[in-house]
Amino acid sequence: MLGLIIGGSGSGKSAIAETLIVSYGASHRYYIATMSASDAESQRRIARHRRMRDGKGFETLECPTDLATAVPDAAGDILLECLSNLVANEMFLAGESRENTICKVMGGIDALCRNNDHVIIVTNNVFEDGISYPRETEAYIACLGELNRRLAEAADLVIEAQAGIPTALKGELPSCLQNQAYVKEKNGMILIIGGAYQGKLAWTCRKWALDPDGPEIWNGADGMPSESDWLRIRVVNGLHQIIRGILDDEQAMALLKEKLLNVSAVPGRIVLTDELGCGLVPISTEERKWRENTGRFCEALAKEADEVYRVSCGLAQKLQ
């Protein structure tokens, strides 16, 4: 069985993949790690993923390149994380061409599938930021896109992760990933995500009969609301902008989450945010932190929300 989990940065795809692979109950469970610990930030990410896997029975196999060499001796279940790092390492560390990279990666995955019961591959959505890149980077994006398409065609199960919520694009969503794993006690809050300029606020105002210029709507560009503001705010439009302004203030981040989840003063609070994670990793450390923290924050909110919607082209899909 081959499964593909795709999502942007901070989308919850790793947790979804781990939940899925653990549910199969194999006696041998392998985690093929493709990230190269080249700097402090990479080491921090690796440490975070190790904490997530702790106690789940994984044997870790380090494999930044040459996936075919990572086939374990004893058959079991495989979680490969992630394809985007593996492709980058092949093209930029090993110096492989796009064509050779595709051949090597597909050959390695074929070998894993022949020798193991379940193979789950985590991959990144880096295709939606609309930015033009140098030729080498565009070649990387094209290579990853082609591999994602090939794997999705071959896979039995394809899942997209958004704010920690899994949506089956191919196959049936396994019971271990259905709502009970992601929804805790409901508190009346509604989360709405989507790309920039997709009509999130207009759709929200139509659905709940709100005035887009009314005092109950807070513009995230104005920063963190005051105590008195929270008493009147029904809609927070632009959560990602608030987060950017308090990125390095842990107390303020905790307070923001507390206020958003406390809907006793204003029942049915609605939170709108841009999706930031579906693009290449930014060069700026601050931009990377903003993107990742916004994704993690939204994942935490989605676990508590009554309803979660994704708006694209002015149309909404209910995720939860």
Read off the pLDDT of residues 127-138 as tens digits, 9 standing for 90 and up: 877 677 889 999
CATH architecture of 190-318: 3-Layer(aba) Sandwich (3.40)
Picking from 3, 34, 33, 8, the residue whose alpha carbon sits closest to that of residue 19 is 3
What is the domain partition of the chain in residue ranges?
Answer: 2-177, 190-318
Q: Which stretches of the chain score pLDDT less than 50?
A: 180-183
Picking from 162, 159, 178, 179, the residue whose alpha carbon sits closest to that of residue 306 is 179
CB contact at 8 A, 148 and 6: yes
Strand order in the sheet with 157-162: 58-62, 29-33, 77-81, 118-124, 2-7, 157-162, 165-170
pTM of the model: 0.81
In angstroms, rounded to a whole number, what is the distance separating the alpha carbons of residues 264 and 268? 9
* Tokens coding 45: 């990410």
> Same CATH fold, 190-318 and 2-177?
yes
Cα–Cα–Cα angle for 140, 282, 274, nearest 5°? Answer: 110
In angstroms, rounded to a whole number, what is the distance separating the alpha carbons of residues 106 and 94? 16
Which residue intervals of the chain are DSSP H helices?
A: 13-23, 40-53, 83-88, 98-115, 135-154, 200-208, 227-230, 239-245, 250-261, 285-304
Q: What is the pLDDT of residues 211-269, one digit of tens each?
A: 999 999 999 999 999 999 999 999 999 999 999 999 999 999 999 999 998 877 788 89
Give the pLDDT of residue 179: 61
Question: What are the Cα distances from residue 209, in Å, to 23, 279, 308?
Answer: 43, 34, 18
Helix (H, G, I), strand (E, B) or coil at 221: helix
Q: Enumerate helices (H) and strands (E) in the chain, giving the number of each.
A: 10, 13
Domain 2-177 grouped into CATH 2.60.40.150: no
HSE, side-chain direction, 13 A CA sphere, residue 133? 18
CB contact at 8 A, 294 and 276: yes
